[in-house]
Amino acid sequence: MHGERSRRTLGMCGRLGLGEHTRVDAMSDLLGGVRSLVTAPSGAMRADAGAVRWREPSGPDQRLGVSWSPCPLPDTPPASASEAARAHDAFSLVVEGDTARLQAGISGAVPVYVDMNDVDGADGLHFCTRIEPLVRTGAPIAQPDWNAWAHILAAGGPLGGRTTFAGIRRLQPWSRVSVQPGAPPTVTDGQWPWLDITAQPGAGVDAVSAALAAVVTELKSRTDVTTLLSGGWDSRILTVLAARSEPRRSAAGFVIGASPRAAEVPTAWTTSSDTGTVMEELVAAQVAEELGIQHEIVPPVRDQFGADLKQFARSVDHQTSFHIWLVPLARALMGTSRTVLDGLGGGLFVGGAFPDAGDGRPLLDQRFDRLTRYLLGAEEILHPRVVAEIRDRTRAGFEDVAGPLVDHPFGSTFTAYLTRTLPGISLAPYGLMATAAPVATPFLDDDVVRAALAIPAAEHADGRLYPQVLRAFSETLADLPTAFDLTPRRRVHQRRVASPEAAQVFRDLLTRDPVRELLAPELAAAGLATWQAYLDLTRPQHLIRGLATLALWLEQYDDVLGGAGIEPLLGKA
Amino acid sequence: MARRHVVLDQAWWSGVDEPGGGGRSVGRRASSPAADVFVGRAAYMLVPGRSMGGPARLSGRVVDVFVHCERQGVTTVVLAGEAADLDTPAAAVSRYVATDQQAVAAAAAVRFGAERVHLAATIDVAQARALVAELPFPGRVVVPAGRRLRGFGGRTARRVDRIVPIRALYGKIRGRDARSRGAGREASGLPS
């Protein structure tokens, strides 16, 4: 096996099965021009910086594979697509004679979309890391997926692999799609290995610390890194590991001095999370000072709110409105060759976030209410018919995903992961930030997740594992309070999202037809002060952000939607 | 009655007024006794911009005193003598901006919002009393005690997980000040 590495970070697209290359070329152009790595009769792939091509010459049918990741892969990738998925969370296309298959990464956090509208066509299945190239090169008229939009509004992201367009599906963790001549494509979504991880007697945090250190050390051996640093635990742990000097070892394992990369002191980057406090920035500054690393605070610009909103919506393919506040950092990091370390998944797999409330109600109800808490009192923002409609549609989608997890020992963790982290939060690093720079999420490494889930669920409660994990690397930072610990109940800073400028942007977007029909009539007629007041509260703010995302999506795709109306969200057929 | 204030002067944050000097915190704690004594009962902390000898970085006593002000609800105001003062970390974490330069005020309004910027007759710290008297910004707010400190005196319920009927939060929202009761009480930055 041999590998080769490309250099740019734009994404990936391709075709699975026999067909012409025309559409793949067109998608590549829309991505910004990614290079050809495989052009075979039964499959094609164009990809950027993170791709490695490999070939197994054994056997009568040479197996040709390409693995891709948003951060550069090692020159010598693992021996198979499943190993690439497990060891590097990489996506792979494997072409073997006249058959071909896709393998998704083990975490599923890196979005890869497949146009399943092609299933009956003669031109293979097309896939891409962005939705827009699939839509722009597909059928002239695209159909909205209103279930997905209900999920976006009620929960923050489309559930179960849906996207904003009917028939375009996001690959789920560890899923595989196979195509062979004369047979329909086969999609395998089950058998996700993480669901089979069981608690181990005596498992402790040392294994979590060691796994995190190993994955960051391995990353640093092949790419320079930089970190996003908030006032919380996940980014603190990653920053400590990024800043560590790595001992260099001889072939025999002896420590022979500092690695050459030890001189590469990373910069940590912080922006305001726009929650009415600057404690995130302050605690991040304390962490950076303790580590002796460069720290950059990139404050949001009030006047750029509208531009940030549009940039975010487009970079996440209009599927979520979580973490719009991250846009200033994506701007600041645009074009860096360093891999950005993001703490995605740490809160769930290590921190025990989103536990069950334990209030005696059925677990599925507790978890659904947690996910859709934005709907509590939503009639002040949305038309009452919309509230009922999106609740019903979201409940149906939620049960498909969360139903099988009810009795799982980490049921609340995996439910939150599959219904919130993947559909919504993951698009902040792998939609937004990945447009600026290579991205890696060490907390979603297979070894890290296995080590964390080997510890019984109850021991994860209230984030109590975090200081123990960090103590292996820094006693001082293990004892430093987080921003969450320190933030006063009353938050006095003006939130940009609730500023007059932002309220104006939202009101202009939401009071246009057809989105205006979805609004509560009183809000549609309200003055700017009322909009600001609602935007200062998380739940109504979430609903308003979601509607704004819908408005921007309708505008962006007006030419391919064929006049599709929003009536389904009002419960009208 | 004069508004209580304190000026974050270099002598304090650099520690040169202390025997031994240095300005670094000893360890990392949830509270800083030095910052507590320095701020006292002040309602405002004026932070000179870099061009006026203010801090270029958030470190040592500078970050400690900002943490203290944030926890205690003390109003922080950065004094911007020139546009470059708006680029400093201290400006990024201050609640308001005061300047005596029209152009700086305009630049600050674009960046931070007009309601967070005050064009003053002077920002000379020698005349801080007069400056504070004319500031249109509210002073220190009372922060309810009993904030959780996990691992630092007892664990309390995670506020983000508590579900409160939304009408209870904003039932009287129309016409009220966005900064009044209930404002910003939920965290947007939930863990993933």
Q: What does A100-160 look like in DSSP terms, one character per residue?
A: EEEE--SS--S--EEEGGGTTSSS-EEEESSHHHHHHTS-SS--B-HHHHHHHHHHSS-ST
Are residues A429 and A290 both part of a single domain? yes
Are residues A479 and A505 both part of a single domain? no
Domain range spanning residue A521?
496-570
Complex ipTM value: 0.91
> Looking at A314-420, which runs of residues are DSSP E strands?
339-341
Chain B within 8 Å of A534 (Cβ-Cβ)? yes
Chain A within 8 Å of B89 (Cβ-Cβ)? yes
Residues of B within 8 A of A476 (CB-CB) are 27-28
Are residues A167 and A46 both part of a single domain? yes
Residues of A within 8 A of B188 (CB-CB) are 273-275, 325, 497, 538, 541
> Please, what sign has the CA dihedral across residues B107, B110, B111, B114?
positive
Are residues A502 and A428 both part of a single domain? no
Are residues A258 and A338 both part of a single domain? yes
Is residue A245 included in any domain, yes or no? yes
State the nearest Cα–Cα gap between A258 and chain B, in angstroms. 27
Residues 392-421 of A with CB under 8 A from B: 420-421
How far apart are alpha carbons A328 and A308 in whole angstroms? Answer: 8
Are residues A289 and A218 both part of a single domain? yes
Residues 12-41 of A with CB under 8 A from B: none
How far apart are alpha carbons A368 and A306 in whole angstroms? Answer: 32
Chain A within 8 Å of B56 (Cβ-Cβ)? no
- Domain extents in chain B: 5-134
Is residue A82 included in any domain, yes or no? yes
Chain A within 8 Å of B191 (Cβ-Cβ)? yes
A92 burial type by CB count under 10 A (0-12 exposed, 13-18 middle, 19+ buried): buried
Are residues A429 and A521 both part of a single domain? no
State the nearest Cα–Cα gap between B67 and chain A, in angstroms. 7
Q: How many residue pairs bridge chain A and chain B with CB atoms within 8 Å of each other?
A: 205
Mean of per-residue pLDDT scores for chain B = 76
Token pair for A551: 């408005």
Token pair for B26: 């000893």
Chain A within 8 Å of B71 (Cβ-Cβ)? yes
pLDDT tens for chain A, 573 residues: list them: 333 334 456 899 999 998 888 999 999 999 998 888 888 889 999 998 778 888 766 555 678 899 999 998 988 767 889 999 999 999 999 998 889 999 999 999 999 999 999 877 677 899 999 999 999 999 999 999 999 999 999 999 999 999 999 999 999 999 999 998 888 899 998 789 999 999 988 899 999 999 999 999 999 998 999 999 999 999 999 999 999 975 544 444 444 444 444 446 789 999 999 999 999 999 999 999 999 999 999 999 999 999 999 999 999 999 999 999 999 999 999 989 899 999 999 999 999 999 998 889 999 999 999 999 999 999 999 999 999 999 999 999 999 999 999 999 999 999 999 999 999 999 999 999 999 999 999 999 999 999 999 999 999 999 999 999 999 999 999 999 999 999 988 889 999 999 999 999 999 999 999 999 999 999 999 999 999 999 999 999 999 999 999 999 999 999 999 888 899 999 987
Is residue A468 included in any domain, yes or no? no
Taking Cα atoms as reference points, which of A175, A178, A205, A218 lies closest to residue A193? A175
- Could A275 and B184 be called an inter-chain contact, meaning their C-beta atoms sit closer than 8 Å? yes
Residues of B within 8 A of A321 (CB-CB) are none
Are residues A180 and A221 both part of a single domain? no
How far apart are alpha carbons A385 and A202 in whole angstroms? Answer: 52
Q: Confirm if A545 and A319 have CB atoms less than 8 A apart.
A: no
Domain count, chain A: 3
Are residues A431 and A357 both part of a single domain? yes
Is residue A295 included in any domain, yes or no? yes
Are residues A314 and A390 both part of a single domain? yes
Are residues A387 and A430 both part of a single domain? yes
CATH at A335: 3.40.50
CATH at A96: 3.60.20.10
Chain B: residue whose CA lies nearest to A415? B192
Are residues A256 and A339 both part of a single domain? yes
Chain A within 8 Å of B28 (Cβ-Cβ)? yes
Phi, psi of A222 (to 5 degrees): -130, -5
A509-530 in b/e form (b: 16+ CB < 10 A) is bbbeeebbbbbbeebeebeebb
How far apart are alpha carbons A47 and A31 in whole angstroms? Answer: 10
How far apart are alpha carbons B154 and B105 in whole angstroms? Answer: 45
- Could B183 and A285 be called an inter-chain contact, meaning their C-beta atoms sit closer than 8 Å? no
Chain B within 8 Å of A281 (Cβ-Cβ)? yes
Beta bridge pairs of residue A189: none
Which residue in the set A286, A499, A538 is minimally distant from B186, CB to CB?
A538
